[in-house]
Structure 1
Amino acid sequence: MTYTPTRASLVKATLLSVSLALPGWAQEEETVTEEPTSPSVTAETVVATVNGEDITVAHVAAARATLPQQYQQLPNEVLLPGLVDQLVQQTVLSQAIDQISPMIEIQLDNERRQMVAAQKIESVVSDGVDEAAIQAAYDAKYEGAEPTTEWNASHILVETEAEAADLVEQAREEDADFAALAKEHSTGPSGPSGGELGWFSTGMMVEPFETAVADMEAGDVQGPIQTEFGWHVIKLNETREKGAPALEEVRQEIVAELQTSAVEEAVAKLLEDADVERMDIETLDPAILTDPSMFQ
């Protein structure tokens, strides 16, 4: 029988959900009293022993950190006895196996490798992304940046040039209601909202549309303008010059860039210093990835 991580996660969640469903759980939750944690309790404190194998407070805390999201919301006083039960059940099940399958052994190798690598990444990110680095990256990216032009426009999208030309004439009439024309005639997704496109800047619209808008004055109506989507009648509502964003507006973007850069640099340095030998994988048949005999 093939044992996969997905099935492992399912079994883990099932064991806990069964424990939560037992009547004893409700009774225990009702009788729990809030008492301060004893100073003598440490990570090594044993909460259960199964056939001589200890389960510690640290094991329980680590199990809580990997619970499915639906259980993460439960209070610790509810989770604690359930997690102990879960670990006892897992321990007795694992002890009942005479020999761990080759696939499980390899998956454990991969899981340990992944978790240790993640710890190193966390360390790299923590060391490389602080407030000073964020400010320096912001200054380098935006200091002295020229203001950019942004446009606020509405449009009517139709299938033919003739339709667009006729709507241009109607939209240019005195007291014309562009929004009403868009709601009645536009085939685009903005039609129901009167053709409003909101604010946009260079590169956000297809080129013929953007070129037309860039040459317009606020209040102008232009068309027909053809793009890959059809024929447009465009009304420019307003323009503005927007300077550099405030740091808080782009903080998350800068943090993500710094994190990515820090990890990439760390990996590159480690690989440069590492003794890595690779075989020519071109000689491998990709079918080996799904060959069940690999784990027999």
Structure 2
Amino acid sequence: MLALAVLSGCDDSRTVAKVGRTGLTVEDVTQLRAAQSPSVRAAPEQTLEVLVDRALLAEEARRQKLHEQPTVKAQLAAAERELLAHAVLERAVAPSVTDEALRARYEAARSRLERREVHVAQIFARMPEGSDEKTRRQAQVRINQAYARLAGGEPFETVARELSEDLVSAPQGGELGVVREGGVDPAFFAQAVALAAGAWSKPFITPFGWHVVKALEASKTVVPSFDEARGVLESEARQEAQAKLMERLRQEISVRRYPERLKLAEEKSKPQGEGEAR
């Protein structure tokens, strides 16, 4: 969003152009360039010309007193409100999301972050949600055939390559790699984690279809690395900081609502002509 500074009270040493009553600053140029993709980022001189054009249009809008129209005034107020809200939230959150703060949070949360994982392979019979009766029967027949061949002594890898409908794992003999608690369907993980190394399950169903899963190794409990957990930790820290800020603001700043006036807002938001008699 273009931030235009009115010259009165501006630090002229930061001003790079004057368009009517509007001053364009170094920060205006920097902000617009930062919003551009690095691959198409314009030079400062080109960026300034873009800003000058927008400032000319804004000046003309003021000359036409468009900024005094209720709709435009509401849009300007909304833009200011969102920018200020974002700025104060970022200031409140900043101390909680430093590298040092997040690492301390990680150490305190290690036991909570523990997850079980198991290295598995699978044989899969696809059954998309909403499948008709014929597709459901075919999927069940396919998985039962696979299980019968396993029970007859055929290697899991051979049966997976020939019958599994998982296009990624089938060529690898059904190997899926390591699956972690919370990262796959709960029913699938429950079956996999209950198996001893080398054992396979009976056929079971998930929202994706039928499976027979084999544990290639015994399950184990791991703690994700700091880098793996950082996104979750930062999200939690942000939510907590925002909740504390909002709690404080609700105590310090009065809020008075006028619910009886909301009907007017509802009426103004209706498309033109809606509700009119025909």
User: TM-score scaled by structure 2?
Assistant: 0.71
Residue 174 (structure 1) shift: 5.4
Q: Kindly report which structure 2 residues correspond to 1:56-135, keeping only aligned pairs within 5 A, or say none.
A: 56-58=24-26, 60-61=28-29, 64=32, 69=37, 73-87=41-55, 89-99=56-66, 100-135=68-103
CA distance in structure 2 between the partners assigned to 1:261 and 1:192 by the alignment? 44
CA distance in structure 2 between the partners assigned to 1:184 and 1:73 by the alignment? 52
Change (3 A) 1:282 1:255: same
Partner of residue 251, structure 2: 272
CA distance in structure 2 between the partners assigned to 1:274 and 1:185 by the alignment? 66
Partner of residue 21, structure 1: none
Aligned residues: 250
**Correspondence for 1:153 among 108, 112, 120:** 120
Which 5+ residue runs of structure 2 have no aligned equivalent? 3-10, 126-137, 273-278
Residue 66 (structure 1) shift: 7.8
CA distance in structure 1 between the partners assigned to 2:200 and 2:22 by the alignment? 78
Which 5+ residue runs of structure 1 have no aligned equivalent? 1-8, 13-39
Q: Deviations over 1:21-77 (max 9, x none)?
A: xxxxxxxxxxxxxxxxxxx9722x362343xx2423257437626856589622324
CA distance in structure 1 between the partners assigned to 2:163 and 2:117 by the alignment? 26
CA distance in structure 1 between the partners assigned to 2:112 and 2:28 by the alignment? 52
Give the letter aligned to residue 157 of structure 1. F
CA distance in structure 2 between the partners assigned to 1:259 and 1:199 by the alignment? 30
Change (3 A) 1:168 1:132: same
CA distance in structure 2 between the partners assigned to 1:97 and 1:285 by the alignment? 28
Partner of residue 182, structure 1: 160
Deviates more, 1:270-279 or 1:152-161: 152-161
Residue 245 (structure 1) shift: 2.4
CA distance in structure 1 between the partners assigned to 2:246 and 2:109 by the alignment? 24
User: What is the aligned-residue identity percentage?
Assistant: 20
Residue 187 (structure 1) shift: 3.4
CA distance in structure 2 between the partners assigned to 1:71 and 1:155 by the alignment? 43
2:7 maps to 1:42: no
CA distance in structure 2 between the partners assigned to 1:135 and 1:70 by the alignment? 30
**Correspondence for 1:248 among 221, 224, 227:** 227
CA distance in structure 1 between the partners assigned to 2:84 and 2:251 by the alignment? 20
User: TM-score scaled by structure 1?
Assistant: 0.68
CA distance in structure 2 between the partners assigned to 1:224 and 1:241 by the alignment? 23
Residue 265 (structure 1) shift: 0.9
Q: Deviations over 1:172-224 (max 9, x none)?
A: 5556252x433432234545544333222334444554343233222223323
SS in 1 for 2:198: coil
User: 1:164–1:231: 8 Å Cα contact kept in structure 2?
Assistant: yes
Change (3 A) 1:222 1:78: same
Change (3 A) 1:78 1:115: same
Residue 230 (structure 1) shift: 3.7
Residue 263 (structure 1) shift: 1.3
Cα RMSD (Å)? 3.6
